[in-house]
Each structure stands twice: as structure tokens, then as C-alpha cells.
Structure 1
Amino acid sequence: MSSGTERVRLAVYHGFARTGRAPSVPELAALTGLALDEVRQELHALHGSHDVVLNPQDNDQVVMAHPFASVPLGFSVMGATTLWWGGCAWDSFAIPHLLQDEPDVLVATRCPACDTPHAWVIGRDAPPQRGTQVAHFLTPMHRAWDDVVHTCANQRLFCSTDCVDTWLRRTAQERGYVMDLGTLWRLARDWYTGRLEPGYTRRDPDSAFAYFAEVGLHGSFWGLPD
């Protein structure tokens, strides 16, 4: 990654972390000392490497820089003074692990099946208390970047497996992967470690598969044995 690309990446991520929103192209230019066209070029490079997701209708807009989102996708994440949109269940649970100045956050959402509101205080020390709620991920990991916004919008939290089944029948979708909140918390805990630091690189497939197995996932959905 070139020095300009890395400067833009860090400016995007630190902007999200600090304010809860994506910096604009002019803001990124001011933060990095790059010209506007250079910022746009670097954003395209970051989009190509899956470090950010740009709006296909407006390439100046950063839609996602996981675990942050600039559009509502079903989750709000409230810190001490900042409100973020969580990109999905996974990302929402990851935010307090990434932001060391936030010992915990309030993650709020609604069940897609019955619209029941849910909220959890998510911290770094332990998963939320066990209940009937579950996470359902619709898209297998090998297809996640085919349409990453759709993938994230369908990583949701439900009241129970019964609500998952109700939603799948109503939407004519095939079941993806269901996990309890403890597994979701473990998945989120270290996935983005280092993302706010200079020189961060995304996990390669082998290290990603090893991480998935370590936190208790299994099956072809994750590229793992059953």
C-alpha cells in the first residue's frame, strides 16, 4: 500500500472512530495534504483492496469502512459521546474491541421478523448474558464481497431461531448460518485488531479460516469442515 493510500485509509478510519461519520473528500484532502483528485484515486484503490466500500452512484461517498458504516443497516452503536451506524451484527459487536477509549457501547437493533427492539451493553471483558437471541448470517463468506452491502445488511440479530425461520419463510431465503451471542462476540473480538494502526493488512484466507475455527465456527459457510 502506497504512503498516500495509507494516509487516506487512516484518515477515513480515524474520522469514523472520532465522529461516527465518513470524512468527505475535501476533509480527507485537508487531513492528508493530498489534492482532491489524489484522494479520489486513493479511495478507489482502497475500494479495490476491500479496505473501504464506495457508493457506486457517488464514488466520493464512503459507505463502509468495516466495522463502521455511513448508512443505517439495522444497528446503532452508542458510545460515551459518539453514535455510530454498525454495518452488521458482527461489526456492531466489534466496535468496542477496536476503540480502546470506549470500554463498552450500547448496541441497539430490531428483530427483522417481528420488529421487537433489542439492546445490549457490549464490552471487551465478556459476551452479553446468554439469552434466546441469535445472529443469522445469510451470505456464505466466499460470496461476501459479491455485494458486501447486501451481505452486511443481512447479518442480523433475531429474538430466537423461531424468528429466523419466520423471516426466512417470509422472504423466501435459504437458511445461512445461526450462532448464539457468545459466538458472535468471540467472532467480533479480534477480527479488526490493528485496523486503526499504520501498516494494517487484511487477513489472508488461511489466517481468516484459522480465526473462524478458533472462535467456534464450522462448516462450508465459513470455508471450514463440518
Structure 2
Amino acid sequence: MAVYAHFARTGTAPTVQDLAATTGFAAADVRGALGALHASRDLVSRDGRIVMAHPFASIPLGFSVMGASTLWWGGCAWDSFAIPHLLHEEPGVLVATRCPACDTPHAWVVGRTAPPAGDQVAHFLTPVDRIWDDVVHTCANQRLFCSTRCVEAVHKEPGYVMDLATLWRLARGWYAGRLESGYKRRDPVSAAAYFAEVGLRGPFWGLTA
């Protein structure tokens, strides 16, 4: 909770010292807790530094997300579109990126009431059952492109391509409750049901249809 509250408020990852001051725990206990949270996939740390606490990131992975007074790194297309759904004080955020193929800049105001307009597409390279093999690589390859032609210019064997409306539906409820005590990630069965509900199909998402 302390990690996520700090990310939400500041746009940056808390340090061990920040967390010790917030929680009252000793620094050694904070380090141990962060190691346990990394092992349980509740956050991603490298060399003692928090790299990701989905949907927030402390490193640039292709997206900036600007609120009324806070700037976040979006961990990927999915996470960038999820941030306004998680932060109820932000009715809309400006998500900005560049097409990985042609470097065309793109930006959308992403809110909670409807998907943003646009003909761009999201491309996910890594199938859902392989996401945590290297989650930073996975997130770095969930990008937004001008079109399927731009996707194919970068990826000779594309993964999964979806339109902005599907991406928005995917992001809308995925992290519901993430900032609240008692949050638990979806198990594989409920995750598959969620993917099907938002319009995703096929084995890429662990689905038969």
C-alpha cells in the first residue's frame, strides 16, 4: 500500500528510506518486504530499486501519462490506459508515445467514460502465459502503432493486435481495487473470463475461442 500510494501521489518510486519513514519499519525490514513482494509478483525490483508496480513504472518504457499535476511513466500501452481508471481524482490523463516503426508522435486524452478516438492499434508481443518470463521486456513490447502496417515493419511475426477501444476495455477494470487494502490479483480462470469479456480472443490470451 505504501509503494502504490507513493507512486500514485508523486509519479516516482519510493526509496527504502521513503518506505521506512512511511511505515515505521526498519530499513532492513523494508528491503526484505520488497524482496518478498517481488517474489510474489506484486512489484518488480532490480538491484534494490523498484522498477514497476503495475500500472506504474519508474523507468521510461515508451509512454508518459500526464495528470492535472503529476507525471507518470506508463509501463506499457495497457498500463498507461489503466492509470485514469485507478486514480479517481484524475478524470482524464494525457497519454503520449511515438510509433516504434516511424516515430510519429501520438497522444490521447484517456478517461473513464469512453475510449479515445483514433485509428491507431496496440500490439502485444508476448502471450499472456509468458508475461512474467521477463516482465520488463514484455511491457516494453506492448506498444501503440500508427497501423498494422507499422506493426509489421517492426515485427515480422506479430503477436496480438487490437484497436484502441479494445485496449481501453482491457485497461478499464484490470487493476480495480489495486490501491485498496486486501487487493488480490486475478487467478488464471478469472483472468481468462475478463479477457473474453472485454473482447479478446484466442490462445494468445489463454482462450480457446
Q: TM-score, normalised by structure 1?
A: 0.92
Code of the residue aligned with 1:156 in structure 2: it is R
What CA deviation, in whole Å up to 9, does each residue of 1:112-136 have, x standing for no partner? 000000000000000011x320000
102, 110, 118: which is aligned to 1:122? Answer: 110
* Counterpart position of 2:132: 145
How far apart are the structure 1 equivalents of 2:119 and 2:68?
28
- How much identity, in percent, do the aligned residues show? 75
* Counterpart position of 1:81: 69
Say which SS state the counterpart of residue 43 (structure 1) adopts: helix
Code of the residue aligned with 1:225 in structure 2: it is T
176, 185, 196: which is aligned to 1:202? Answer: 185
Deviation at 1:14, TM superposition (A): 0.4
Code of the residue aligned with 1:150 in structure 2: it is H
Deviation at 1:175, TM superposition (A): 1.1
* Counterpart position of 1:54: 45
How far apart are the structure 2 equivalents of 1:28 and 1:200?
19
List runs of 5+ in structure 2 lacking aligned partners: none
How far apart are the structure 1 equivalents of 2:171 and 2:155?
24
Q: Report whether the alignment pairs 1:187 with 2:170.
A: yes
Deviation at 1:168, TM superposition (A): 1.2
2, 11, 17: which is aligned to 2:2? Answer: 11
* Counterpart position of 1:108: 96
How far apart are the structure 2 equivalents of 1:132 and 1:193?
27
How far apart are the structure 2 equivalents of 1:206 and 1:100?
28
How far apart are the structure 2 equivalents of 1:194 and 1:168?
35
What CA deviation, in whole Å up to 9, does each residue of 1:70-91 have, x standing for no partner? 0000000000000000000000
* Counterpart position of 1:92: 80
What CA deviation, in whole Å up to 9, does each residue of 1:155-212 have, x standing for no partner? 000000010011114xxxx210000000000000000000000011111110000000
Structure 1 stretches of 4+ with a deviation exceeding 6 A read: none
Say which SS state the counterpart of residue 176 (structure 2) adopts: coil
How far apart are the structure 1 equivalents of 2:163 and 2:91?
22
Deviation at 1:150, TM superposition (A): 0.1
What CA deviation, in whole Å up to 9, does each residue of 1:41-70 have, x standing for no partner? 110111011110001xx12x1000000000
Q: Count residues in correspondence.
A: 209
Root mean square deviation, CA, Å: 0.6
Deviation at 1:94, TM superposition (A): 0.2
Q: TM-score, normalised by structure 2?
A: 0.99
* Counterpart position of 1:41: 32
* Counterpart position of 1:159: 146
